[in-house]
Amino acid sequence: MKEWIIGRNPVYEVLRARRRQVFRLQVAQGAEEKGRLAEIIDLAARAKVKVERVPRQVIDSRGENPQGVALETGEYPYSDLRSILKLAESHQEPPFVLILDTLQNPQNFGTLIRTAEAAGMHGVLIPFRRTASVTPAVVHASAGATEHLLVAQGNLAQMIETLKEAGAWVIGLEGGPEAQPAAQVRLDGPLALVVGNEGEGMRSLVRRSCDVLMALPMRGQVDSLNAAVAGSIAIYLALQARQKTARV
């Protein structure tokens, strides 16, 4: 099945990553072909992708804020947990994985993928059902980070067990009374961070599969954070802990 990726950064990253099948590039007539757009056209030429100059309204019909460019591609190439663990091994690093339990909002999903990729996580795990998947909207929200990160779909409880067998410590983000303060949770070493659904949090089976529940410090009047914000903070707390351990 074909789909359209829009926006200069997402299109650039799809072409740069070369993980998808690419069919054609559309550029708005009259667009200044310099900067990032010139780089996109150059990458397309190198990959022998057909470039079409079309009226801007054709590009605008592809979605919100296309920035004068659209790329027709194949579907997102999902990976698997085995490949994620192999990637960590090839980098000689302990596994660093993000688990998203039925996250619904594409913007939250894209933001977390962007953060995970920027932090050097080895992959993201999502369930088969009741979840946002890697759609063009998620690619756009991630600024194309989806194209550089391994995302696997599967049974989360089973994948968590596989991670534990590989030595990973599974930590679920939660604000309830059973959660330990983040300052008291060890975040270095093999690690999987779990972020639950925006409204309901983690499902009970996934929650029970966690080794530790962790709460972020809250000192203001608002007692909760957006899922993408909370997950991003936790990812960088873990990255900081891993970097300290690596320096020792």
- What pLDDT is stored for residue 213 in this prediction? 97
Secondary structure (3-state) at 56: helix
Average pLDDT for the chain: 94
Please compute the mean of the pLDDT values over residues 84-96 and round it to a whole number.
Answer: 97
**What 8-state DSSP symbol labels residue 221?**
S
- What pLDDT is stored for residue 245 in this prediction? 77
pLDDT for 120 beyond 70: yes
Q: Find out whether 142 and 113 touch, Cβ atoms under 8 Å.
A: yes
- Note the CATH architecture for domain 3-73: 2-Layer Sandwich (3.30)
Report domain extents, the chain: 3-73, 81-247
In whole angstroms, give the CA distance from residue 238 to residue 191. 8
Bridge partners (DSSP) listed for residue 70: 6, 26
Please compute the mean of the pLDDT values over residues 74-96 and round it to a whole number.
Answer: 97
State how far Cα 214 lies from the chain centre.
21
Please compute the mean of the pLDDT values over residues 135-146 and round it to a whole number.
Answer: 97
Reported as a single tens digit per residue, the pLDDT across 29-63 is: 999 999 999 999 999 999 999 999 999 999 999 99
- What pLDDT is stored for residue 221 in this prediction? 74
For 81-247, CATH number?
3.40.1280.10
pLDDT for 141 beyond 90: yes
Residue 203, amino acid:
R
- What pLDDT is stored for residue 175 in this prediction? 83
In whole angstroms, give the CA distance from residue 103 to residue 114. 15
Bridge partners (DSSP) listed for residue 3: 73
pLDDT for 247 beyond 70: no
- What pLDDT is stored for residue 143 in this prediction? 96
Reported as a single tens digit per residue, the pLDDT across 144-153 is: 999 999 999 9
pLDDT for 229 beyond 60: yes
pLDDT above 90 covers a percentage of the chain that reads 88
pLDDT for 124 beyond 90: yes
